[in-house]
Amino acid sequence: MQKLMSKIFTGSICLTSMLFNGYATAGLSSSVSFYKQDGTNACGFSYNNPTASCAGTFYYQDSATGLYTVVSAAGDSTVTNQSLKSKSSLNQQGGLTYQDVLVRILEQEGYTQEDIDYFVNEMQADPYVFEEEVGFNPATYLQDNLSIDPNELRISARASLSDTWLIEGGDLGTTGTLSVFYAIDGNIQNHIFENDLGSISGVSNSTSSIEFYNTITYQNSQGTTITTRGETDSQSFLDAGPHDTLVQLDLNFVFGEPLDVVLALRTSSYINYHEVENGNNIGLKPREDDFLVFADFFNTANLSDVKVKDSSGSDINFQLSSSEDLQVFEDFSSPVNQPPSVPEPDSIFLFGLMLLLGGKCRKHLTL
């Protein structure tokens, strides 16, 4: 009997992967998660690490037709001092037969075409022969991880940078406005389901957004430390197609007081299987469409400029200090006018002596 190459199987609801480049860096964090609306999580990672990645697959069977739908997702996020990168994608294959799905699982597991052909032949007689050979049966895996009828699926990827800044240049205690500028370069692809009448009956979309906000930390009455989001400025990208623009994000602050800030770029892709009729939601409907939706902003969001206005709204020179030593932000600082220094006592004495001697010289010259 033909011997097949053994494979190691994860035994989870999906195939997942983690990717970490570099090292854990304070202030830089990436996360990715793929989940269903009912709370089932296919894969999800959130680390104080500059890079994260995950991929997963969900399987559905249409209770009416018996056909299968396979939805695979992938997400990646990376953050550096200079840039924020994020991308997400969902790929659906619908109208698959039982054998189609088993073959796809074997392909996903990395089996060769020779192995797959052998499985297909053996499956007609005894599908468990293959399992005896390699210790893995895709039919058992599908049975363990199959959902009946679809639900909303979503994958989200987020890259964020957090820091504490001290800004000087205006009168201490007065308010100012801090503006950061990011050059955004990305692309979005969406898909619209249509019913037999040609009207929209469901959507599969991708979006992206970049946000700038400050955090507020305090202790509640029980003594628990709480951190909440304060003022926020953001811009979203919803339309399909390429995006290439310069984004300005503003926050108010107080000169001379620490400002806890977060900059984050998020991408999200989702499938909504709800059937809509005459504007009303009439329930979930499996789809047999083959499509790919994505939000790819991995090119990416690059820091372009930092500016400061005083309470009057005028641009001013400023000095920005980063608690995380993020030099790329500090480099946008400009010379700040310093108040005149107070002369030392010795300097005052010498200056007075020079005036006295100068006066005597002028007196002798006039005699």
36-93 pLDDT per residue, tens = 777 677 777 666 789 999 888 888 888 778 888 898 999 999 999 999 999 999 999 9
Is 264 a domain residue?
yes
Is 355 a domain residue?
no
Is 285 a domain residue?
yes
Q: Strands of the chain (E only): list them.
A: 28-36, 41-47, 51-61, 68-79, 83-96, 146-148, 153-168, 175-189, 191-194, 200-219, 225-237, 241-254, 259-272, 274-277, 280-284, 291-309, 319-322
Residue that is written with structure tokens 């249409």 in the block: 62
Identify whether the C-beta of residue 73 lies closer than 8 Å to the C-beta of residue 88: yes
Residue-number span of the structural domain to which 295 is assigned: 28-330
Tell whether the torsion through CA atoms of 62, 148, 129 and 114 is positive or negative.
positive
Is 367 a domain residue?
no
pLDDT tens for 304-352 read 999 999 999 999 999 999 998 889 999 999 887 654 444 555 554 454 5
| Residue among 201, 137, 153, 200 nearest 4 (CA) | 137
Is 362 a domain residue?
no
Which of 254 and 43 is assigned the larger pLDDT? 254
Is 15 a domain residue?
no
Give the per-residue pLDDT at 37.
Answer: 72
Give the per-residue pLDDT at 278.
Answer: 66
- Tokens representing 192 are 């619209």
Is 89 a domain residue?
yes
- Tokens representing 316 are 């001013």
Is 354 a domain residue?
no
pLDDT tens for 229-251 read 999 999 999 999 999 999 999 99
Split into its structural domains, the chain has a count of 1
pLDDT higher than threshold 80 for residue 216: yes
Q: Please state, in angstroms and rounded to a whole number, the distance separating the CA atoms of residues 131 and 96.
A: 22
Q: Quote the Cα angle for 22-26-31, to 5°.
A: 70
By residue count, the chain amounts to 367
pLDDT-based confidence at residue 3 (cuts at 50, 70, 90): very low
Give the per-residue pLDDT at 83.
Answer: 94
pLDDT tens for 127-180 read 566 677 667 788 888 888 887 656 778 899 999 999 999 999 999 999 999 999
Claim: this prediction has a pTM higher than 0.85: no
Q: Which contiguous run of DSSP H or E holds residue 270?
A: strand 259-272
Contacts (Cβ under 8 Å, ≥6 apart) of 68: 59, 60, 61, 62, 96, 97, 98, 100, 101
Dihedrals φ, ψ of 144, to 5°? -70, -25
